[in-house]
A and B are shown apart, each in its own frame.
Chain A
Amino acid sequence: MIVAAYRISPQQLDPLAGVTAQAFAWVFAFAAFATAAGLSLVHRVEYHDLPPLLGAYTALAAAGTIVILASSPRRAPFTWRAAGSIHVFCLAAVFLEAAAQWGTNTAVRSDWAPLALALLVMATGCFRPAFEILGMTAVSALCVAAVTITGAAASGSPFPPVIYAGLTAGPILAAGVGAAVFSATLVRRLLRWRDATHGVRLEAVERMRLRVRDDLRDERLTMIEGEIGPFLREVLALGEAVDETAESARRLADQLRQALVHEADGVWLDGIVAALNDDAGLAARMDETQRAAVEAVCTALADRHVRASLERAGRRIRLLLVWDRAGRGRLGPELQAMLRHVFPGARVRPAARRIELEFDDES
């Protein structure tokens, strides 16, 4: 479990945690911009080259935008590519800021790009695995340290350059470790909860299974004991088939067959959406978790006339859900995140009142 806690992201185990963290992604992104603006203003005399400074702002803007977009529930999960891009853009900001104050950087602590990187790294704590956060942060901290050492040497700083490197790379490293520990703690507790409650869930399923079997048995007995049971028992008691036996048996066989076929043809999604286009019965290929996610969405939009259609898309199956503008109910961020969690790559377009998702045709 310890190794798993460092390799799994909290968002994998608890997609709704990512929705909670979205607010903090915004806060960290805003804090990064505020830090950049504030320190640039206070220490403006250190910047002598405007184009690289503007470039640094642009890189920071790109990194902040990635944080905000990648943390959006309808784009969940937050990918390693997004995390890597944040580091790349922030490092670009570090290089460009260093270029903008090359030779005049007298107060290394005023460098905003490393601080912005530290803040944005903290934003990834809820979304990415601890190992990945640590690895990326270590690489970035080394790059920042190298830039700081070079810049400090160029500025003729009075103290050993490595001290300045500690002041810029140190907070990044601390932020990375903090974010990684945050991530690992969440994962460890989530895994512990899963393990601790597995037995309870198993018992609940068994209780549910017993109830279902009782209900089913009653249904079947009702179906059989109406006519079929008495008829067959009468044949058995007589010990022979009489003239009417064949006709009665044919009629009862047709009735029973129709009832069984009707039940076998039942599609679970049929009773959940207002209209279903699934001639091939592809909805039956979803697993329980996928069905639950779709049902939760349809329930949330129940008043908005949800329509579903399914079709094959190569070796996968594509489900399209559309709904009306009018009516109550909305697709909240938690449902968007869950859909993206259960159906990776799902196109969730609440504004267009449309969801398009795919799942494997393997069940």
Chain B
Amino acid sequence: MSTAQSPEVRPPHADGTGGDWIFPLSETAATTRAALVSGASALSLVLLAVLATIGVVFTVTQPGSMVPWMPLALIPLAAGSIAAWRWEPIPVLGYFAIALAAIGSFIALTIAAVESPAQAFAGTAGFVLSMTTNVAVLMGAASDRWTGGIAGALGGWVLAEGTIAITASFVGLPYRLDVPPIAIALGVALGYAVVPLARARARSGTASLEQADRRTRARRLREVEGRESIAVLHDTLLGELAALAVREPGPLTDAERGRLAASLESSAMLPLLRNERIPLAAGVGAWLVSIGAAGGIRIKLEGEVATLDDVPDPAGSALRAALEQCVVNVARHSGVAEAWVAVGVSDAELSVTVVDEGVGFDPGAVPHDRLGLSESVQGRVERCGGAVRVWSSPGAGTSVHITVPLGV
């Protein structure tokens, strides 16, 4: 199996929009038609250019083998091809004008053929008349706004072949049935007829793909928002319940009362769901120090602490909440009275390390139902494109290294 990442895979949209990988059925008919018309017209113009070049080469290299004005007779056909391509909508008189241009061109080309030894020997099946008949077929298909190109392709052939046959009978050019333009006219008509069927087959699953896309995006939003609120609940109510579970009976301190009230308020309303930010008037560093102080530990700040205030949301909010939880974890579990928060900045990311020299723990042995590190720190940071690494072992302290991309 190839593991190469091809450019076909688009990165997920940062704004979560997505959905543009499914081109809606309603748009496809007009788009396919526009592309077919453009392609056929470009093909016609190149063919005409090639014929004009051949005419010039004949005139220059073998004077008399082809009438020198033959290239000029191609101009009305070229103009008709461009009109069929670009004229939108084509009025009824416009169709007459295009048809007249084509008829004039074929009359002139038939006369040119009979007067050109290089063409006359092949009768009406010479390469100039043959190729220009193909151009008429494509021009007819491109100008057809009613049957999707089917009648236009056949009509283009009839118009060209009819004009050539009638003119040939007048000027004495032997008529020879030219099979390739017939095959091309039938092929183009058949192709235009098959397009809707092929499209219907290809697009039969569009609706189910769109539904799957919508369901997936809704579920993903629910997952992201839900996990963030899990982290909030963990940091607030679950934390309070856990603290009460190990607390001796007795009056609540002012700090406990304040924390409990704040938790009830924040969990009931869930700030994230209201798009509210934690007010940090004094800066993130001071905020972490105050949280540490409330938990009985002294936080020492090192490095480019001021940068913490400059990280834009959502990375900024996630980082602040994760750091808060790290400090709370130190206060609850480390058994020491001091911890360090070191901040470093590189071109692309900001890194913060929270270090304590406390009791430590075995990261591999953390019970599955402990959400502090997994959701409140790791989950939060990873959801905004960052990463978390934890180094700890029993008796050797703990280091939590958080990196978040700048500019997220």
How far is the CB of A203 from the nearest CB of chain B, in Å? 9
- Given A159-B65, A245-B249, A288-B216, verify A334-B204 contact (CB < 8 Å): yes
- Given A16-B202, A16-B206, A167-B54, verify A193-B368 contact (CB < 8 Å): no
Contacts of B61 in A (CB 8 A): 160, 163
B23 contacts A16, C-beta separation under 8 Å:
yes
B346 interface residue (CB < 8 Å to A): no
B9 contacts A342, C-beta separation under 8 Å:
yes
B23 contacts A252, C-beta separation under 8 Å:
no
B273 contacts A289, C-beta separation under 8 Å:
no
B220 contacts A291, C-beta separation under 8 Å:
yes
A261 contacts B46, C-beta separation under 8 Å:
no
The contact of B371 among A264, A295, A296, by CB within 8 Å, is A264
A50 interface residue (CB < 8 Å to B): no
How far is the CB of A180 from the nearest CB of chain B, in Å? 8
A257 contacts B371, C-beta separation under 8 Å:
yes
B16 contacts A256, C-beta separation under 8 Å:
no
Most buried by B among A77, A125, A167, A186: A186
B92 interface residue (CB < 8 Å to A): no
Contacts of B243 in A (CB 8 A): 249
- Given A229-B268, A236-B264, A240-B251, verify A260-B233 contact (CB < 8 Å): yes
**Mask: chain B, 199-224; 1 = CB below 8 Å from A; 0 = not:** 10111111011011101111111110
Tell me, in angstroms, the Cα distance from A77 to B199 when the chains sit together: 18
Looking at B27-35, B293-301, B324-332, the stretch in contact with chain A turns out to be B27-35
Tell me, in angstroms, the Cα distance from A12 to B6 when the chains sit together: 10
B20 interface residue (CB < 8 Å to A): yes
Q: Which residues of chain B from 356 to 392 have any CB-CB distance to chain A below 8 Å in the complex?
A: 368-369, 371, 374-375, 379
B39 contacts A295, C-beta separation under 8 Å:
no
How far is the CB of B179 from the nearest CB of chain A, in Å? 8
How far is the CB of A21 from the nearest CB of chain B, in Å? 8
- Given A159-B118, A181-B39, verify A236-B9 contact (CB < 8 Å): no
The contact of B39 among A178, A228, A292, A335, by CB within 8 Å, is A178
A296 contacts B209, C-beta separation under 8 Å:
yes
Tell me, in angstroms, the Cα distance from A243 to B244 when the chains sit together: 11
Looking at A60-68, A85-93, A194-202, the stretch in contact with chain B turns out to be A194-202
Contacts of A346 in B (CB 8 A): 1
Most buried by B among A21, A177, A300, A360: A177
B369 contacts A316, C-beta separation under 8 Å:
no
B280 interface residue (CB < 8 Å to A): no
Q: How large is the interface on A (under 10, 10 to 19, 20 to 34, 35 or more residues)?
A: 35 or more
Determine chain B's interface SS by DSSP, over half rule.
helix
- Given A77-B8, A162-B57, A182-B35, verify A260-B21 contact (CB < 8 Å): no
Contacts of A77 in B (CB 8 A): 6, 8
B208 contacts A296, C-beta separation under 8 Å:
yes
B7 interface residue (CB < 8 Å to A): yes
A209 contacts B221, C-beta separation under 8 Å:
yes
B273 contacts A344, C-beta separation under 8 Å:
no
B54 contacts A221, C-beta separation under 8 Å:
no
Most buried by A among B22, B44, B230, B244: B244
B43 contacts A246, C-beta separation under 8 Å:
no
B47 contacts A24, C-beta separation under 8 Å:
no
Q: Which residues of chain A from 231 to 266 have any CB-CB distance to chain B below 8 Å in the complex?
A: 232-233, 235-236, 239-243, 245-247, 249-250, 252-253, 256-258, 260-261, 263-264, 266
Contacts of B27 in A (CB 8 A): 189, 193
Contacts of A343 in B (CB 8 A): 9
Contacts of B303 in A (CB 8 A): none
B314 interface residue (CB < 8 Å to A): no
Tell me, in angstroms, the Cα distance from A197 to B1 when the chains sit together: 35
Contacts of B28 in A (CB 8 A): 16-17, 20
Contacts of A250 in B (CB 8 A): 241, 245
A49 interface residue (CB < 8 Å to B): no
B247 contacts A333, C-beta separation under 8 Å:
no
How far is the CB of A301 from the nearest CB of chain B, in Å? 11
Q: Which residues of chain B from 186 to 205 have any CB-CB distance to chain A below 8 Å in the complex?
A: 187, 190-191, 194-195, 197-199, 201-205
Contacts of A58 in B (CB 8 A): none
Most buried by B among A178, A291, A300: A178
The contact of B31 among A166, A177, A189, A360, by CB within 8 Å, is A189
Contacts of B22 in A (CB 8 A): 16
A356 contacts B1, C-beta separation under 8 Å:
yes
Tell me, in angstroms, the Cα distance from A201 to B214 when the chains sit together: 11
A20 contacts B202, C-beta separation under 8 Å:
yes
A338 contacts B209, C-beta separation under 8 Å:
yes
Contacts of B333 in A (CB 8 A): none
A201 contacts B18, C-beta separation under 8 Å:
yes
Contacts of A10 in B (CB 8 A): 35
A182 contacts B38, C-beta separation under 8 Å:
yes
Contacts of B202 in A (CB 8 A): 16-17, 19-20, 22, 333-334, 337
- Given A224-B268, A335-B205, verify A291-B251 contact (CB < 8 Å): no
B8 contacts A201, C-beta separation under 8 Å:
no
A212 contacts B4, C-beta separation under 8 Å:
no
**Mask: chain A, 320-358; 1 = CB below 8 Å from B; 0 = not:** 000000000000111101100111111100000000101
B21 contacts A341, C-beta separation under 8 Å:
yes
**Mask: chain A, 29-51; 1 = CB below 8 Å from B; 0 = not:** 00100000000000000000000
A300 contacts B205, C-beta separation under 8 Å:
yes
Query: Can you add 4 more A-B contacts, CB < 8 Å, to A19-B198, A23-B198, A224-B267?
Result: A167-B127, A186-B31, A236-B257, A292-B213
Residue contacts A-B, CB under 8 angstroms, 22 given = A16-B23, A16-B202, A19-B202, A20-B32, A109-B130, A125-B35, A160-B62, A171-B47, A173-B46, A178-B46, A181-B41, A182-B38, A186-B35, A189-B27, A213-B273, A220-B270, A240-B250, A250-B245, A257-B238, A260-B230, A334-B205, A347-B1
The 4 closest A-B pairs by CB, nearest first: A178-B43, A182-B39, A170-B50, A345-B2
A→B interface (CB under 8 Å) = 10-17, 19-24, 27, 31, 77, 109, 125, 159-160, 162-163, 166-167, 170-171, 173-175, 177-186, 189-190, 193-194, 197-198, 201-202, 204-205, 208-209, 211-213, 215-217, 220-221, 224-225, 228-229, 232-233, 235-236, 239-243, 245-247, 249-250, 252-253, 256-258, 260-261, 263-264, 266, 268, 287-289, 291-293, 295-296, 299-300, 314, 316, 332-335, 337-338, 341-347, 356, 358, 360
